[in-house]
Structure 1
């Protein structure tokens, strides 16, 4: 078993002002963020920091083209720390920037992944409650020139610090909350079932699940899209705990099968995970009905006031109330793509598939896609 470590220092703040004061943000700091976050939450503080807005280089999840454009724009700048304030895209890009040399490219960094070194101290401030990326040392990039979505991973990509500031979630649209919290829940489940889990990582998986499921029940029972905001800090904590758990134990088939959906059809990451989650779990039940999955069912049954036998179905039903699952065909996926996706996952996502609860063969993966279609 590998050592369980929490490398990044975590701290909660009531406001961005409090965080900025404690960290003495100034001219030597580069804030990577989005304009829609910066203007209401940071601009009024009149900080002397340098700024860079991610959306000026492309929309959606990180790509090699987007990151190479950012690297090019930074070559004439001098700064010490990188402060990333944003969702998964901003945070993942910041991790790449932290290990990038002055004349680097994305392809060059993938080529020397084992030798990457920290070039800039890194502080991560999440503004969604899903990726948990502030606690991990991986950035997922769509390598458009190679047609694959794959992780850049290095111990040097851990942030020195992460700040949890619920104030920054105040303007988060409900659909982003839904997809990001679903992503966090799946992180917790996959890390819990992973063969790499240990007693300590399980504590973080379990607590993340408890917080998310309790928060979801409050959200769906309040009858409006704003109900989750009273639980913003708890959702931030849950995302962070799930990030710590999967940073140790890894994610598995749900993430592996979702990557072609995001890479080819640009389905948001959390939603792509939701489209695969139930059918992956049902395949697990078919192939290995007796095992650690039963412990997960007991954990879910306690949180959902259900029997262990009904717990997973209750979870799928609650997820549907948070965000309705739809067939893959409604997202532009064609039946002819499914065998291509299955083969691609088997060939390119072994890093994730090694963390599965049970081994999935190509026929199993294709069957999951067909059920979700």
Structure 2
């Protein structure tokens, strides 16, 4: 079987990467952009760093700042109408996963209007054309939306999130500038950082993993494991490392899929509006335990790369246990809640949430085949 790899056409990394936005805009002969972001990133002067560059270079643009956390179908439809009205030929997406995910859905519908209902994009949609070109600027170090072929939209009417997987949606250029991430508060830095660790670990053990993505994921685990705590505490060098680590994880998982952590996290966000990174981080240690006997020697690799003494000499059972414990300790150290009841999850909702998790597009990639009953048990253990 052939393995496929899809990555950005171009990416810029490091402090000051956003300064290359006008260069890429002009060399591609774009005429007008819509800058997609959210109101807080405007308010706190993050997205305006990009708009200032556009102003300086006399690049024409309009701003759509109506993005909300866990973006909705209506969010996407409103954005499509805005981009059409502004007659833009490209999108500049500035933000975390929400603005970039919304930009992907908008861009796809602009060029593939038969999917304007948004819901029909769920799963692997049969789109025919590449989306309106997207230049992506992440402001968090976790989602890696700037390098993935995935995006997630919330169906508010049915209390669920749905994942869209489409090679046509990947941003053509990404600008991974750690200066754009320096303003993250501790909580956001922790949750998005643990989301990145979840991407790296789930991508490493997913059923579709292969040598090239293994190389990416193990390096991402190393960088994130060494940098996350210092990044949460505001260390500039650690934040730059996290910007790279989360991107490398995205390079991998975008091409091989994820697993049950994401399958279980998506309905938690849809039902209770829990930030995606926090949902993933709260679930990760427990699902790692659940999967441990179905991961071969990969937990030994994780333990070794996290610097656990004696990992090579331990029995497979012991090394799997210490790897799980190390991730649980890291999650605790950066302030992630250990139970989902702390996040507002209600016991009586669990059976219906478990059904959504079982049907989630990420769940089949889990290394251990699962059932609704198993998922119910995992949620209950986390209460």
- Normalised by the length of structure 2, the TM-score is 0.87
Cα distance in 1, alignment partners of residues 124 and 286 from structure 2: 36
The separation in 2 between residues aligned to 1:196 and 1:203, in whole angstroms, is 14
Question: Is the 2:220–2:248 contact (alpha carbons within 8 Å) kept by the matching residues of 1?
Answer: yes
> Is 1:284 the equivalent of 2:295?
no
Structure 1 unmatched runs, 5+: none
Equivalent of residue 242 in structure 1, options 238, 249, 252: 249
> Are the aligned partners of 1:191 and 1:197 in contact in 2 as well (CA < 8 Å)?
yes
Deviation at 1:218, TM superposition (A): 3.9
Match of 2:348 in 1: 336
Shift of the 49–17 alpha-carbon distance from structure 1 to 2, 3 Å rule, reads farther
**Equivalent residue for 2:13?**
12
Partner of 1:325 in structure 2?
337
Matched, 1:125 2:137: yes
User: Would you say 1:89 and 2:98 are equivalent positions?
Assistant: yes
Listed one character per residue, the Cα deviations across residues 253-307 of structure 1 (whole Å, up to 9, x for unaligned) are 000011111001011000001121111111123xx26x42x32233323423344
Unpaired segments ≥5 residues, structure 2: 312-318
Deviations 1:333-364 (A, max 9, x none): 11111112112222x21x21221111112221
Out of 69, 72, 85, the position equivalent to 1:63 is 72
Which residue in 2 is equivalent to 1:33? Answer: 37
Moved more, 337-346 or 34-43: 34-43
1:131/1:13 CA distance change after superposition, 3 Å = same
Does residue 1:232 correspond to 2:242, yes or no? no
Contact 1:31 1:49 in 2 (8 A): no
Which runs of 4 or more aligned residues in structure 1 lie more than 6 Å from their structure 2 counterparts after TM superposition?
A: none
Counterpart CA distance in 2 for 1:165 and 1:180 is 16
Contact kept? 1:99, 1:156, Cα under 8 Å: yes
User: Are the aligned partners of 1:99 and 1:116 in contact in 2 as well (CA < 8 Å)?
Assistant: no
Which residue of the partner structure matches residue 160 of structure 1?
Answer: 172
Where do 1:129-140 residues align within 5 Å? 129-140=141-152
Q: 1:37 to 1:16 in 2, by over 3 A?
A: farther
Following the alignment from structure 1 to structure 2, what is the Cα–Cα distance between the partners of residues 17 and 158?
Answer: 18
Q: 2:368 aligns with which of 338, 358, 373?
A: 358
Structure 1 position 300 matched with structure 2 position 309: no
Which among 40, 47, 50 is matched to residue 42 of structure 1? 50
